[in-house]
Amino acid sequence: MRSYARIFKAISDETRLQIMALIFRHGEVCVCEVEEVLGITQSKASRHLRYLRDAGVLIDRRDGVTIYYGVPATQTPEVSAILMLLRGLLSSASLPDAAPVLVQLRAVRANGDAARLPTVTGHHLN
């Protein structure tokens, strides 16, 4: 029961549900992408991503100074069942398409222009 409670607490926040929808639709994301797409601060994005990671619904990987978060390939039965249900529920959620924002952010980062990352587009999910 404890593992279920931990997972449900982690996904009981609207911002964390938006993060999960973003990851389900676009694959792994970094903190700066969550920050820009959701229109939240870097510290808030990091805190929510860590909370989801600590609950076991996300994993992280480091690439240089950037940390990416995504759904774990190997999951406990509890996490697997809940993520399958959550993916289905969030697939019909009304969210704007973040793909153009992510493409732009990733292009800026690939070109090494990190100074532009925090305010590339001003696009936000509702």
Report the predicted TM-score, pTM, of the whole model to 2 decimal places: 0.81
Over 50: is that where the pLDDT of 47 sits?
yes
User: Within the chain, how many helices (H) and strands (E) appear?
Assistant: 6, 3
Over 60: is that where the pLDDT of 114 sits?
no
Q: What is the CATH number of domain 2-119?
A: 1.10.10.10
Q: What is the pLDDT of residue 102?
A: 79
Using CB atoms within 10 Å of the CB of residue 15, give its burial: 0 to 12 exposed, 13 to 18 middle, 19+ buried. Answer: middle
- CA distances to 53, 55, 57, 74, 88 from 3, in Å: 13, 8, 11, 16, 21
Work out the average pLDDT over 94-119: 70
Over 80: is that where the pLDDT of 7 sits?
yes
Confidence of residue 41 (pLDDT cuts 50, 70, 90): very high
Over 80: is that where the pLDDT of 77 sits?
yes
Domain ranges of the chain: 2-119
- What is the pLDDT of the chain when averaged over all its residues? 85
